[in-house]
């Protein structure tokens, strides 16, 4: 007795379609993993810039600039202190604007910037 054609298993076309779908799914997974790693790296860089900005805001008393290398990236920072034009008469304390901008990134198209602004009493 002859077996029916449909009982012989998968056809070559079925196998090729399955392999194509598996390769597409694999590519999607690898791409998602790559994007996830890049996002984690950018988040780490931003946290480093934020920590640097907070530190420099607390420790610097006047306008200044500088740079530091952390984890093979150069972080450039600039603190700007804007004194009030006219001090209120009879007051010893002044409210001063203070800001810091941190820039990092090796290439110009990868450059990132973080700016913090605050007011301090002097």
The pLDDT value recorded for residue 2 is 56
The pLDDT value recorded for residue 68 is 92
Unique residue bearing structure tokens 């392999």: 19
Residues 59 and 77: beta-carbon distance below 8 Å: no
DSSP 8-state code for residue 103: E
Look up residue 76 and give its two tokens: 């450039």
The pLDDT value recorded for residue 108 is 60
Unique residue bearing structure tokens 């304390």: 93
The residues spanned by each domain of the chain are 11-121
The pLDDT value recorded for residue 8 is 67
The pLDDT value recorded for residue 30 is 95
Give the residue ranges of the chain where pLDDT is below 70. Answer: 1-8, 85-88, 106-109
The pLDDT value recorded for residue 121 is 80
The pLDDT value recorded for residue 6 is 56
| Pairing assessment for the beta strands 95-104 and 73-82 based on DSSP bridges | antiparallel
Classify burial at 29, counting beta carbons within 10 Å of its beta carbon; exposed 0-12, middle 13-18, buried 19 or more: exposed
The pLDDT value recorded for residue 87 is 63
Superfamily for 11-121? Answer: GSPII I/J protein-like (3.30.1300.30)
């Amino acid at each position: 007795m002859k077996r029916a054609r449909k009982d012989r298993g998968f056809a070559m076309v079925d196998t090729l379609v399955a392999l194509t779908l598996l390769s597409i799914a694999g590519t999607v997974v690898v791409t998602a993993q790559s994007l996830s790693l890049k996002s984690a790296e950018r988040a780490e860089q931003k946290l480093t810039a934020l920590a640097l900005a907070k530190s420099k805001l607390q420790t610097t008393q006047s306008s200044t600039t500088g740079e530091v290398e952390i984890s093979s990236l150069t972080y450039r920072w600039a603190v700007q202190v804007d004194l009030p034009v006219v001090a209120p008469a009879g007051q010893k304390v002044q409210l001063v604007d203070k800001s810091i901008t941190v820039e990092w990134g090796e290439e110009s198209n990868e450059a990132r910037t973080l700016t913090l602004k605050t007011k301090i009493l002097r």
